[in-house]
Every structure is written in C-alpha cells, then in structure tokens.
Amino acid sequence: MAALQPPTTDTAAHLKRIYHAYRHTTNTDRKGVFFSPHCMQVCRPIPSYAATTRQEIVRHLHDAQQGDIPTKEQSTSSIEISDNLSAEGRKPESEKSTKVRNLYTIRLLSPSEFEFGTDETTKPIGLTTEQLKQKAVDEKWVGMRVDLWDEGMEGGLLVKVQYWWRFEEIPDGERVVDEEQAMGWRQCLHDIMYLGPKDGTQGAGTLEIND
C-alpha cells in the first residue's frame, strides 16, 4: 500500500481554520455543512458509538447538547449510535453561571498514527481497518489529532479524536469560511481514541490551546 502523502503547510493551516469555524458555529444543524454527506465515525473505547452519515452525526450532536454522552463506564446496551465531538451544551444549569471554557488542541497526525485501531472498532461502519487505510490513500485524506475538554468545572469530559478530511465537491449553499470554489475540504471520518474523564494529558506539551 502506498504511503499517505503529507499535506502542504497551507492546507494544514486551512484545516485548522475551518475546524475553528466549526467549533464556533452555534447552530447545530449548520455544523453539518462541515461534514461530508457520508462522514463516518468510529469509537475505539465503545465500538457501538459509530455513525455513517452526517445526518446521524448532527442528530447525535443534538443529543449531546442534552447531556447524552456515552463513556466507557456506561453499559453499551444503553448507548445509541451517536456523535458529539464537542463539550458544548453539556454543563448542568448549576455550573453555567461559572466561567467554564471549552478548550481544544489540534495538530497534524504523524506517519505512525496512520492506523484505525482494530476490525472490531470499524465493523459498525462496514469496513475493515485495511479498507479504511486504502480509502484514505486513494482519496488523499488529511488527518489531525484534536483533544477537547472543559476548563473551570470539576470533573468534565475529555475527548481525543483523530479527525480526517477529504477534498471533495461542495454543493451551493454549503461553503464555509473563505471557500469560493466548488471543491473544498470536509470532515470524512471521526476516529475517537478516548472518551471519558480528564486524565491529565489535556493541554500537555507545546501545542497552542484554543477556545
């Protein structure tokens, strides 16, 4: 299998910019335009926490705003296939008066991170890990590691995700940021590495911490 080609510096900067715009889009339905129509999700801690379309993802973002976020400690029998890759809307009413920040870091994936876990993880989306890798190479995906967490509240969720983008045709009315052409970068896979309590690794290292 051919190696995944690294993105240009301009492409990496653009992906960070449109991810920031995604994070700050307050209309949940509008967040869907940042996803490819067939955007997928796999979750390594909870394989049933998967999705195969952006409609599913948007629906589960709405669920997440109501606090419906599975963690590994929960029984998988009670978990719906869902996606919420942000901390928005999850704070109890008693904590919303305090200064709580939703933070994240983002960086390009290294070549050693070009993998998708196990076939058990990817089975819910109907692909093997090798099929995903081949798809990523064929479609020239670009991957970023994003960590998301709450600051200023006791406890809180930490999510570690490998986001993947694909350059594809964009329908009229779905362009974002500074897009002017009929082609653009859209999220095509969310690979959740960790979903649970903050473990002390959030914000570690030299990466810039963003709101």
Closest Cα to residue 165, out of 9, 10, 18, 2? 18
Q: What is the dihedral of CA 201, 191, 6, 114, to 10 degrees?
A: 90
Class of domain 28-68+99-211: alpha beta
User: In Å, how far are 140, 163, 204 from 24, measured between CA atoms?
Assistant: 27, 17, 23
Give the model confidence (pLDDT) of 80-125 as tens digits: 223 344 444 444 554 455 688 889 999 999 999 999 999 999 999 9
Give the model confidence (pLDDT) of 46-80 as tens digits: 898 899 999 999 987 888 788 776 665 543 322 22
Q: Residue 121 corresponds to which tokens in the numbers above?
A: 């993880």
Q: How far, in Å, CA of 162 to CA of 122, rounded?
A: 14
Q: Work out the burial of residue 199: count CB atoms within 10 Å of its CB; fewer than 13 is exposed, 13-18 middle, 19 or more buried.
A: exposed
Give the count of beta carbons closer than 10 Å to the beta carbon of residue 113.
Answer: 12
Q: How far, in Å, CA of 149 to CA of 87, rounded?
A: 7
pTM for the whole structure:
0.85
Q: What is the rounded average pLDDT of the residues 118-145?
A: 97
Q: What pLDDT was estimated at residue 97? A: 53
Give the model confidence (pLDDT) of 155-185 as tens digits: 778 999 999 999 999 988 888 887 778 899 9
H or E segment and range at residue 9? helix 9-23
